[in-house]
Amino acid sequence: MEQEVRSRKALEWDLGESPVRELNNYLHHGLAEDGVEEVRVLKPDGAHHIAVGLDAPVKVEVMGNAGYYVGGMNKRAEITVHGSAGWSVAENIMSGVVRIEGYVSECAGASGHGGLVVIEKDASSRCGISMKGNDIVVGGDVGHFSAFMAQKGHLVVCGDAGDGLGDSLYEAVIYVRGRIKSLGADAQEEPMTEEDHATLADLLGRAGFDHDPGEFKRVASARKLYHWNSEHDQEY
Task: Give the pLDDT score at 225.
Answer: 82
Residue numbers in the chain where pLDDT is lower than 50: 1-8, 236
Task: Give the pLDDT score at 5.
Answer: 41
> How far is residue 72's CA from residue 47's CA, in Å, rounded to a whole number?
14
Task: Give the pLDDT score at 1.
Answer: 41
What is the residue extent of each domain of the chain? 38-224
Task: Give the pLDDT score at 172.
Answer: 98
Q: Is 38-224 a domain of CATH 1.10.287.130?
A: no
| DSSP annotation of 64 | S
Residues 6 or more apart whose Cβ sits within 8 Å of residue 224: 186
Task: Give the pLDDT score at 4.
Answer: 42
3-state SS, one letter per residue, for 67-126:
CCCCCCCCECCEEEECCCECCCCCCCCCCCEEEECCCECCCCCCCCCCCEEEECCCECCC
Residues 53 and 73: beta-carbon distance below 8 Å: yes
3-state DSSP percent of the chain in helix, strand and coil, to 5: 15, 30, 55
Task: Give the pLDDT score at 229.
Answer: 63
- Comparing CA positions, the residue from 109, 122, 44 lying closest to residue 73 is 109
Chain-centre distance for alpha carbon 120:
11
Q: Where are the alpha helices (DSSP H) in the chain?
A: 20-29, 31-34, 194-207
Task: Give the pLDDT score at 7.
Answer: 46
Residues 6 or more apart whose Cβ sits within 8 Å of residue 173: 153, 154, 155, 196, 199, 218, 219, 220
pTM: 0.93
